[in-house]
Amino acid sequence: MLKVMTFNIKNNYHREVKNGKISKRLKDVFEIIEKENPDILGLQEVTSEVKKIISDNFTDYNIIGRSRYNNGKISDEYNIIMIKKSFPIIASTTYSLGKDINKIGSKGLLDVFPRICTYAKVKCEGSEINVYNTHLDHLLSYNRKKQLQVLENIIKPIENEPIIIMGDLNMCRGNKILKIFLDKNYINATDKLTTPTFGNRYIDHILINNKLVLKETYINHHENYPSDHFPIIVKARLK
């Protein structure tokens, strides 16, 4: 059984959450990670500073993922994947979801920020699982549609292998754009939830393809609300 978690931990660059800056909230974020103890964890809105703190505190994980910029801009973001060291990493990279997938900082026509997707191929139970962690555009459905199309093209060469896609997609379950993507042999674990992941909306997702079996889905409702999102946790197994 594989335990996977996605969590947008919220950066410091826009409106504050209840407990203020990320430096004051990390203790509770770490408490959630330690309690859930996922095999694979995707985090969104991670800054370079926070990435280092996470690396220093979670030495039993390999942590992968590049920034969406090369020059440490104030609107920096990593979509890191944390993988238990007991799961060998076969390959990893960070793609841009813009005009050039191999160029960090590449944007689509109307993107305010570059959007990225971190990828890892992980050995699990004698097989290989492809894991993607992303954070799609927060403003325009046109941008999200284009970014999903880029991601679909990235995945196409390995679409018949086990695949997990997770992250803050900024689309509610039932969204038409997301439904078109799901119709390509994916199950959305978020459909199993009974409480929202962000305000009154379900915009955080874990998608698995038909090479995996979904066994359980739930949210960790930490009493201190260390982010404006709740983390989703999924248990799944290979077919």
CATH number for position 71:
3.60.10.10
Instruction: Give the model confidence (pLDDT) of 86-104 as tens digits.
Output: 999 999 999 999 999 999 8
Separation of alpha carbons 238 and 225, rounded Å: 33
Instruction: Give the model confidence (pLDDT) of 117-160 as tens digits.
Output: 999 999 998 899 999 999 999 999 999 999 999 999 999 999 99
Tell me the CA distances in angstroms from 129 to 86, 102, 222, one per residue in order. 14, 22, 29
Question: Is 25 within 8 Å of 7 (Cβ atoms)?
Answer: no
Separation of alpha carbons 137 and 85, rounded Å: 31
Question: Is 5 within 8 Å of 61 (Cβ atoms)?
Answer: no
Q: How many domains are there within the chain?
A: 1
- At 61 the pLDDT is 98
Closest CA to 239 of 142, 163, 155: 163
> What is the arithmetic mean of pLDDT over 169-186?
94
Selected residue with higher pLDDT from 12 and 175: 175
Domain that residue 9 falls in: 2-238
> What is the arithmetic mean of pLDDT over 5-13?
88
Asked if residue 16 has pLDDT above 70, the reply is no
- Work out the percent of the chain whose per-residue pLDDT is above 70: 95
- The HSE-up count of residue 181 (CA atoms within 13 Å, CB side) is 26
